[in-house]
Every structure is written in structure tokens, then in C-alpha cells.
Amino acid sequence: MGWLDFFKGPDIDAGVAQFLGTPGAALLDVRTPQEYRMGHIESSQNLPLQEIARAAQLFPQKETPLFIYCQSGARSRSAAAYLKRMGYTSVNDLGGINHYHGKVVGGI
């Protein structure tokens, strides 16, 4: 691992693969509903960052594995930190969809 690896974000492709192999996991897109409609990762659900507190209603079990992404990685990082403060024990920040190489659904 070189010193430039510090600047690399999470590997969203590997993260989505991990999500797909994790029973009971949820893939959360924390972008706006408009961004979500423009294209999102299959099997994800939209939970905008400004509504992240709703996670308590959607996922009452704090052990639920949560995988989070946004556009570039900033919002997913904030959402992951917030969810950890809420007591979630398995939170995975995948970074931004702009680095994703897999299938995207939706869009115009």
C-alpha cells in the first residue's frame, strides 16, 4: 500500500459484491430522489441524506448490514457516520456511484 492509497475512496464495485453476498443487507442510496431516478444501483433503496434518521423506522434491528453510496462519496461518508452514532453496528460506506462499473437502472 503506497502513500497515494490514502486518497483513494472505497471500492464501490467490491462493496456492491459484498452487499449481494450478505443475507439481510440493505443497499442505501443517500442521494436526492431526483438523482435516484436518473439512475441507481439495482436492489438499492433511496433514503436521502436529509432523511437518514428514518433508518430507525426502516431498520429497527441495529445489526442490519447497511451498505451506503451517493454520487461522489461525501454524502455516503456523512450518512455512515450518522448511522454509526445511531447505534448501527454494520455500516459500510461504498463511496460514489460515479466510480461504479456495474449495471445502473432507471434514468432518462
Please pick, among 28, 41, 70, 80, the residue that the annotation labels catalytic. Answer: 70
Q: Burial code of 19-29, b = ≥16 C-beta within 10 A, e = fewer?
A: beeeeebbbbb
Q: Is the dihedral of CA 17, 25, 74, 107 positive or negative?
A: positive
Grid cell listed for 1: 500500500
Task: Reply yes or no on whether 73 is catalytic.
Answer: no
Q: Using DSSP, state whether 18 is helix, strand or coil.
A: helix
> What's the N-to-C CA distance of the chain in angstroms?
40
Beta bridge partners of 104: 41
Which residues have a catalytic role annotated? 70
